[in-house]
Structure 1
């Protein structure tokens, strides 16, 4: 197998390019990690700091997610090790941090509930391995089918709303840990009400620890921006537990974490029939969260996460983790935010986080178990608040009110429906927005800039632009097809009725596709205008594909060469010539 260069090797602003290896089956490209070859030594320190900082967030959260899924607590460490390692080698995002998420954990719990007993750890581990293997296989098959294009249906305003919604949900989710209160979690508003009702029962010591940690984090970020604030906060929290005996005062800690390497756990083919339907949902969650987080934190000048390669990288991360005790994995928004804000420059940070999880398994598990939950909550809250950016909403509103509404809908969808449903809402909103745009394209009335051959849309800013009595110049833009042809026709009819011209010159230079239904409607409209209203239709600036289609149709025979023009300047010259009898 020979290394093969990708079509384009991107090295913008010092970011590494990417080579690929082509597998003979299906032409799947596995990225070769060029960042290992092109790595710059000045990246080492920020990547190591970021990787260690992220590990302080990822490891305790992964332990919690394992318990949410009903799995042994050490499964969280396995998930922060193997999938993180594989993604760091194969993924296309420089900063995406891959382990697992709350939503995936809940979906896993639901999936495993019907096939394994909660009291049988061995059965649970086998069922988890089978589910994770199926998730990985589904993602790889999706890559073979090139289904990554689904990610392109999330627009930037919708992505901004999605991130803000996730930030709000995460903050609300962490507040109970910050206050030391407990309740059965439900919907967003249920949780808000439960928090309000639980404030009188809050642990003052726990709340004090949380407030001190938030103050410490914010102070370090402002005064010492290069320092690893979360890592310092975590170390301070662990030290406080040892020095002041905080658990005796009601401060909850992460708890006991078993040590040891993951055992080889093969999937059970007999469980696959029962687990493949929920595996589809988990795979969708894994991909959508992965690509959304990767896109959300990609900076200008960095390689944009490639959806199809993300499918492959995440799929192989799940497949690899399945055999070594990991639960279903995907990119996490919070941990990726921490990685980005901690200064990560390359996938080395993911490798550092992975090996930090390995070190925890072997050496540091008892120490991590001493971390106050309030410390973890403070770290998550401080970095999640950064996802909520009112300035971006104001910028969208100042440019276009409609897209501001899309952003709000995406935010509300995440808050009210949950992350998976919120992503679905975001995609639907983007698709509806796209459908609205293509179904109602603009039709401009043109004028000529004095002294030039420049034709532009008439506006109050340019009242001096020239028009020509008896000639109406129109310019539609976009694709004309069955969904918008009638609407475009209505807009043109309004202008024709208002002006009552002799000639309507339609500039089609901005039309890249002309569908059969639209062509038929134009043919009928031309005939009606010519026979009933004595209005002549000219077509101007047709693209080669559109021109070829028109020529093959009855409309082309009707218009002939005399009523089709290369550009509007030629059409105007012909009109003047015909009016003066030249």
Structure 2
């Protein structure tokens, strides 16, 4: 386990450079090395993401230049790496092709417009403190969503691996098309692709710290220049513009505004959920206080920087964050180091990138897609929570068979449905005493008495509109099917934290029904729970009826075991007779 860094002695942080300050001289060399590692691993990866997003190769480098610096200056997380991401890249390619051809100048311009729109949405989210929205995309739905994206990304690169153009709409047709055309595959390109995959997988398997993708990129560039791959029919990247990116304000075509807003909203949801989850995980790992709302400003600045430099949406990246953490980086200084290296590449090393074979990027992107397919997460859901496995599989299915944007909607809706099901599928019990005098819970059945004439019914969830029917039904069943004269029903509400309007009305109606049967109703509720809500609804106050609120089940039984419902007896914590 990695050591936790206590934050108790840390001075109050400024509203900027929170991920950088205070600088620990002992940690500084580790951060610099981690930044170099991130550059080595991340540069080939972000270049690969441009194949997913349908933008020029150099735009991938732009995502880890100014956006990385912007988040380091204005973000709160000390660990989160903000850069190009496969999920948001896939959203762009899946949605913007409805209004512009993939890779066209209009399309590339729209990707920057979406990034600026996302930045505005993130600022609005910060103003209204909407960081909590990250909680509404469940982990199971996120596993399914990223798995679906992984299938989509990997399937889209199969044709590129064998040197053929992509054909077919959707991942399934792309897979079928690639396999049908294997007999006409370009053999040299196919051999190169398999060699790159062997290097990446081999490094991961035998030398985990070796930058397999970078080795493959450098090796293929050298081989491309020496053997003239372009002259032998192996497609290469072509000219990559050097120098600093040009700053400009993205244009918003009025005719495309609806598509831009829908695409930006999908990216916004993924960014909120994925960035917050990643930042929280690493803050918890090192016992640091996270700030979702402050990170929103950093993410907004990063996406604005992306928009103004002509690149696409950036997001908190779990894979790159883990790269830095595994290399010993603990602050945003590592990310600033990466930005410096990327700047040097843009100024002096873009010419060699023009020799990079396209199949190498296809192989890198294919491996990115394969890594996103979370078989381990799915297996864990199968073992631990099968109903949430269904949520993950449905979300993945929508991404694969429909599109990414609807996959996002499915992830959010299914997360909310799963939450509602967990709230609705509550636990209820009837309590009885065992010979030792301890309370024992039983499934809800008639004729289980705490003492003769008294039933204790425990409701173990908030009482709200969706479960009041079950509450009413079970209480009345206990009364109607009793095999002896029932005098009291004690509702154990000690674990209820909220009663909504429908729940309050249901409690009143149950009391009235029990009055008609000559049965009293009492409650066990704590001052820190819903006692004030019960009293506010006057659910236990009725003319001619004696009802009480007790602090414990024992207090209720002791006070009521010899009391008839229509008589008066003061409860241990009541000083006045109920009115």
Bin the TM-score by the shorter chain: 0.7 to 0.9
Please, which of 78, 93, 114 is the counterpart of residue 106 of structure 1?
93
Q: Give the distance between the partners of 1:470 and 1:551, measured in 2 at CA.
A: 25
CA 1:474–1:108: 2 relative to 1, 3 Å: closer
Q: Give the distance between the partners of 1:371 and 1:78, measured in 2 at CA.
A: 18
- Tell me by how many angstroms 1:245 deviates: 3.1
The answer to whether the 8 Å contact 1:181/1:202 transfers is: yes
Query: Which residue pairs with 1:4 in the alignment?
Result: none
Q: Per the alignment, in what secondary structure is the counterpart of residue 181 of structure 1?
A: coil
Superposed, 1:543-562 pairs within 5 Å as: 543-544=527-528, 546-558=530-542
Q: Give the distance between the partners of 1:209 and 1:320, measured in 2 at CA.
A: 36
- Tell me by how many angstroms 1:426 deviates: 0.6
Q: Give the distance between the partners of 1:307 and 1:57, measured in 2 at CA.
A: 26
Superposed, 1:26-105 pairs within 5 Å as: 32-34=18-20, 37-38=23-24, 40=27, 41-62=29-50, 64=51, 68=54, 74-92=58-76, 94-99=79-84, 101-103=88-90, 105=92
Q: Give the distance between the partners of 1:512 and 1:305, measured in 2 at CA.
A: 27
Please, which of 373, 378, 388 is the counterpart of residue 358 of structure 2?
373
Please, which of 378, 387, 398 is the counterpart of residue 372 of structure 2?
387
Matched positions, count: 547
Q: Give the distance between the partners of 2:378 and 2:289, measured in 1 at CA.
A: 23
Please, which of 422, 429, 438 is the counterpart of residue 437 of structure 1?
422
The answer to whether the 8 Å contact 2:521/2:547 transfers is: no
Q: Give the distance between the partners of 2:260 and 2:14, measured in 1 at CA.
A: 28
Please, which of 210, 229, 238 is the counterpart of residue 255 of structure 1?
238
Superposed, 1:199-348 pairs within 5 Å as: 199-266=182-249, 271=252, 276-294=257-275, 297=278, 298-299=281-282, 301=285, 306-331=291-316, 345-348=330-333
Structure 1 length as normaliser, TM-score?
Answer: 0.82
Q: Give the distance between the partners of 1:285 and 1:177, measured in 2 at CA.
A: 27
Q: Per the alignment, in what secondary structure is the counterpart of residue 354 of structure 1?
A: helix
- Tell me by how many angstroms 1:507 deviates: 0.5
Q: Give the distance between the partners of 1:413 and 1:515, measured in 2 at CA.
A: 34
CA 1:509–1:87: 2 relative to 1, 3 Å: same
- Tell me by how many angstroms 1:396 deviates: 2.0
CA 1:417–1:59: 2 relative to 1, 3 Å: same
The answer to whether the 8 Å contact 2:152/2:170 transfers is: no
Query: Which residue pairs with 1:529 in the alignment?
Result: 514
Q: Give the distance between the partners of 2:440 and 2:217, measured in 1 at CA.
A: 61
String of CA shifts for 1:153-191, please: whole Å, max 9, x gaps.
111222222232222222212222222121345212221
- Tell me by how many angstroms 1:493 deviates: 2.9
Residue 13 (str. 1) matches residue 4 (str. 2): yes
Structure 2, unpaired ranges of 5+: 570-579
Q: Give the distance between the partners of 2:70 and 2:98, measured in 1 at CA.
A: 24
Structure that is richer in helix per residue? 1
CA 1:572–1:85: 2 relative to 1, 3 Å: same
Query: Which residue pairs with 1:8 in the alignment?
Result: none
Q: Give the distance between the partners of 2:403 and 2:327, measured in 1 at CA.
A: 27
The answer to whether the 8 Å contact 1:523/1:555 transfers is: yes
Q: Per the alignment, in what secondary structure is the counterpart of residue 474 of structure 1?
A: strand
The answer to whether the 8 Å contact 2:131/2:272 transfers is: no
Q: Give the distance between the partners of 2:503 and 2:109, measured in 1 at CA.
A: 57
Q: Once superposed, what is the RMSD of the aligned Cα atoms? A: 3.7
String of CA shifts for 1:237-260, please: whole Å, max 9, x gaps.
222223333333332222211222
Q: Give the distance between the partners of 1:383 and 1:279, measured in 2 at CA.
A: 26
CA 1:523–1:425: 2 relative to 1, 3 Å: same
CA 1:352–1:393: 2 relative to 1, 3 Å: same
The answer to whether the 8 Å contact 1:241/1:370 transfers is: yes
Query: Which residue pairs with 2:345 in the alignment?
Result: 360
- Tell me by how many angstroms 1:76 deviates: 4.4
* Comparing 377-386 and 12-21, the one that deviates more: 12-21
Q: Per the alignment, in what secondary structure is the counterpart of residue 65 of structure 2?
A: helix
